[in-house]
Structure 1
């Protein structure tokens, strides 16, 4: 069988692959050593130059080549400056290797059929038909990974968080698979579309090609294309190198000291409704230290733009997309806090407890959405002057937990489904606003279940929230003037934050 593949002008590495050899160490021998073994096996002269392989189109012959493969990768590593001690390889091989492997297998079967009919020995043929062809990407990763490990001084580890993606192409054969569209009842159906002035072929994905090859009969294959495939005149090329590091996660707590700052950029119909945002004030500093492509800002709930976040702050984390510097030191976390808390926007946003966290820690914020508690302080106007009876009614009711039923508020009805949500008010106190002379103003402090609509609890939302502060106080109306969040009761960053 090796002789048949050699006669079809397959390289020795492809012959090993067709034999489904799983001993990776074989692939680490030099080209010269493997060439000598096969020259001896097939009685061929070691002096003859090897043409470009029919099966791999030169991918494996030149895998780990210093000039065309390793040097460009190392140059990219130097340019990007990722901080890592290991790498994994992601490889895209030429699309034409898919059908060439299939046609070469048909060729071998044809030759073995002829030999079996002459010698009446079928064991070799039966064994071959059970063979699978080893995935080309596995072999390429094994060869190139070992060579790059030696050249770059990084450890090749398939489970590494840092990925180097190599795209190999062979332009001369990239449309060979279209013979599959010429069978009587084709599985592969392609069409051409124009996009941005350019013509593109769609419908010939690798999966579609594989399905068409599985449905291809040997008779159709012999009638529509050449078996074995014609050896190529040129080798494949490395068309693209890209690098990507798995996301890192950095968390902390933020304080919002302004009533004119949204949590994230607030734009409606192209108009910016708040000049500043929490994410906008702090994102650039994190991006500078992580040297990343992007950041995703995630928080434990949110407050409106005109609500301050005080006390210990609101928990948040950044998902750091493709960081060159994934792990921050303790000193760097302290420096991030210092830069944000002393910059020009420090009177609006400040941060604390900045730490590196694990990915699994982020579930704490998501799981706490329904069960965490929050403490608020509100300046409230009552339709009647605050008497001792009103104070007593509110403080007596708030001394024990009670439940308020909230229909979806009118102000969010366009983006929230209609539902009645029962929320627990754990504690509530009311006192007069002695700082001002208006006897209609009071200070309400309350501890509530996450997801409680505080504004609606105060004014009742046209009777859609019951009981509400007005009904508890026994007055006609109450309205919220100012609101502050004093505490988000969530352990964050978690005590298990060490990466």
Structure 2
């Protein structure tokens, strides 16, 4: 069927009698067809959202949009019936006739409402997405072979949607009953282009891929469309005070960028305007368009998955994460790089985020069971791994770390399980051992007395070595304290100026500062408690993070962490 022969009656006859449409739907369809609307957009404005009906309109819509060659005069007459003339007025019809004469008859038509989104080749888009799926080697979960559709559409669709709403209200007025018992003047567009587009794309991708559509799927197919021909239509809104629409222009790398033209903002501005506003700007009905939208990008995205474990740091001068100042690396290695590098490679991710239960300084060891951490893996192409595969991955990390860093208990966890680590940030405690040099020798009796203290309350102001943190006074707790000579004394009456301090503290305690006092910013401190002029930390090791997370995994020699005896 040529586009020129499509009438409102033919279109309505294709709608099943079970569908609910307005009583004067034929008038509505006549106005919309005369104003360059495709059949599927007519369905939208009639309140039809049934995807089965929209799918059944594929041939009618394609015929409407297809290139065709007919006699000029016959084309104009058939495009504007007597009924259409009554619906939109003689002047509007004359304008439409001129516009049709300006468009070569051999060229396909583009819907002025959806800009071609509802009559493009949706299966071709689906096949393109499937090609990307295979190229990037996505491997979805065995129990979740699903997808969801995500779209990024031209914001000017909001202007055209409002324009058609005002056109219908003006031409048909209160005589148009619509679904949900609203009159035409009260009604807002019930069905947006994006809703129907998602149906069409979902059905197309499901057919070519064999996956099932699921609105809650962790895997999305995202499509981004642009329409250069109409991208500046928002400008008329800036010239009408009632729209209260303002944009901001900035220059980025020599290119002018316009901010503030989102779909939502344009919708709010357009809804403030009347038919007269739109008509005065020659935007009602919307001007016809010569070309359809362009598919700019197709992206596939899987929601993050999470890999947790515990790490040990067995050499000093290794930072928790890459430590870079002024473009210069302060340490050669980091725990994050040792652990995450192979994980990223195995799950084929775009990027990762590394979270640990606190972090030790670069010159501090992390011993014992290790420090809990998890990796948030962004857009993984692989989302599952067997326990044996995780053990092999862990073993590979440990082998390549060469006893500088050790990984243990590596496992895939859910997003909900990450909350345990986050919630414990302010409640967990840690145990340390530290070697301290004192300004002057002290007797064993003083050390023994100090070791009897429990639950010592300490006030710590932000350390001078951590300038980027807010300079607040924080209350901390030294839960247990054991101070003894670093080398056993041969005589109990001997003095010592080098001590070993084992302590368990509340979360966030700055242990080095508790030893030397940080020029009075930590009170009390070991220096003051032993009544010496100064105390210097020679070595500090974390021996336990008291958090039983993630779950322990029975490890054999293949996947076990490097020994803390190394």
In the superposition, the TM-score normalised over structure 2's length comes to 0.77
- The equivalent of 1:39 in structure 2 is none
Does residue 469 of structure 2 align to residue 416 of structure 1? Answer: yes
Instruction: Give the corresponding residue for 2:149.
Output: 89
Residue in structure 1 matched with residue 55 of structure 2 by the alignment: 28
- Mapped to 2, the partners of 1:234 and 1:178 lie a distance apart of 20
- CA pair 484-466 structure 1, distance change in 2 beyond 3 A: same
Q: How does 1:153-302 map to 2 (within 5 A)?
A: 153-183=210-240, 187-190=244-247, 194-302=251-359
Q: Tell me, yes or no, if the aligned pair for 1:95 and 1:169 is still in contact at 8 Å.
A: no
Unaligned runs of 5+ in 2: 1-27, 64-80, 84-106, 554-566
Task: Pick closer, same or farther for the CA change 1:184–1:161 going to 2, 3 Å.
Answer: closer
Deviates more, 1:362-371 or 1:347-356: 362-371
CA distance in 1, matches of 2:160, 2:520: 73
Q: Is the 8 A contact 2:166 2:274 kept in 1?
A: no
Q: Distance in 1 between matches of 2:522 and 2:228?
A: 67
Note the 1:336-485 alignment, pairs <5 A. Answer: 336-343=393-400, 345-385=401-441, 387-397=443-453, 400-412=454-466, 414-434=467-487, 439-485=496-542
Q: Deviations over 1:309-359 (max 9, x none)?
A: 11111111111111111333312221121011111x322111100011111
Q: Deviations over 1:207-250 (max 9, x none)?
A: 34223322222223222215323433333222211222211111
Q: Deviations over 1:23-81 (max 9, x none)?
A: 33323325237899xxxxx999xxxx9843231122112252x33x2222221222222
2:141 pairs with 1:141? no
Task: Give 1:200 shift.
Answer: 4.1
Alpha-carbon distance, 1:479 to partner: 2.4
Inter-CA distance 197–395: structure 2 relative to 1 (3 Å threshold): closer
Compute the RMSD of aligned alpha carbons: 3.1
Equivalent position to 2:41, from 7, 11, 14? 14
Instruction: Judge which range, 151-160 or 377-386, deviates more.
Output: 377-386
Q: Is the 8 A contact 2:242 2:272 kept in 1?
A: no
Are 2:110 and 1:57 aligned?
Answer: no
Cα 1:176–1:284 change in 2 (3 A) is same
Q: Distance in 1 between matches of 2:439 and 2:281?
A: 88
Residues 102-160 of structure 1, C-alpha deviations (whole Å, 9 max, x = no match): 222222223314xx7xxxx6767973333332121111101110121111111111211
Contact 2:176 2:184 in 1 (8 A): no
Kept in 2, the 8 Å contact 1:63–1:143? The answer is no
* Alignment partner, residue 129 of structure 2: 73
**Cα separation, partners in 2 of 1:19 and 1:264, compared to 1, 3 Å:** same
Distance 1:123 1:88 in 2: 34
Question: Cα deviations across residues 469-499 of structure 1 (Å, max 9, x unaligned)?
Answer: 2333354443221111100000111489xxx
Contact 2:409–2:551 at 8 Å: present in 1 too? no
Structure 1 counterpart of 2:32? 5
Alpha-carbon shift at residue 371 of structure 1 (Å): 1.4
Give the 5 Å matches for 1:107-122: 107-113=167-173
1:394-447 Cα distance to aligned partner (Å, 9 max, x none): 2223xx3322232333333x2233333222222222232237999432222111
Name the residue aligned to 2:392. Answer: 335
Structure 1 equivalent of residue 556 of structure 2: none
| Segment of structure 1 superposing worse, 362-371 or 456-465 | 456-465
Check the 8 A contact 1:252/1:355 in 2, yes or no.
Answer: yes
Q: Is the 8 A contact 1:393 1:472 kept in 2?
A: no
TM-score by length of 1: 0.86
- What secondary structure is seen at the aligned counterpart in 1 of 2:184? helix
